[in-house]
Amino acid sequence: MIQIDIEKTDRKYSVQASGHANAGPYGSDLVCCALSTLMQALELNYPGNSTRRNNSIAICIDEPTEREKAVIDAFTFAMEYLSIDYPDNISIKKIEQRGEKTKTNIDNETI
């Protein structure tokens, strides 16, 4: 399963993805391909803000501009729809903090 952790605060936006979808044979897994393509596009937009380790990639943007927030929001939207279509292959944990309020959402359920 691919685990995606998304954190959005007033001062930082970060995305981390790790694991493998296991939705098909290695090299033919379309779920993994979709996620990898989106993550690589995000990484190419923010090359100085990304880190790769083993089977994981993380992108962290401190003090994001409105454009950077919009890009991460679009990524989040795409990942949420993939996780709805492939709940056995993608799990999302999203934490949003605006001012004093914090909202945690795991696999589209607010906790």
pLDDT score for 84: 92
pLDDT score for 108: 62
pLDDT score for 61: 93
pLDDT score for 76: 87
pLDDT score for 103: 66
The per-residue pLDDT string of the chain (111 residues; one tens digit each, 9 = 90 and over) reads 999 999 998 899 999 999 989 898 888 999 999 998 998 898 888 888 888 888 889 999 999 999 999 998 998 899 888 999 999 999 999 888 877 666 666 666 655
Query: Whole-angstrom Cα distance, residue 106 to residue 49?
Result: 25
CATH of domain 2-110: 3.30.70.1490
pTM of the full predicted structure? 0.84
For the chain, the structural domain boundaries read 2-110
3-state SS class at 5: strand
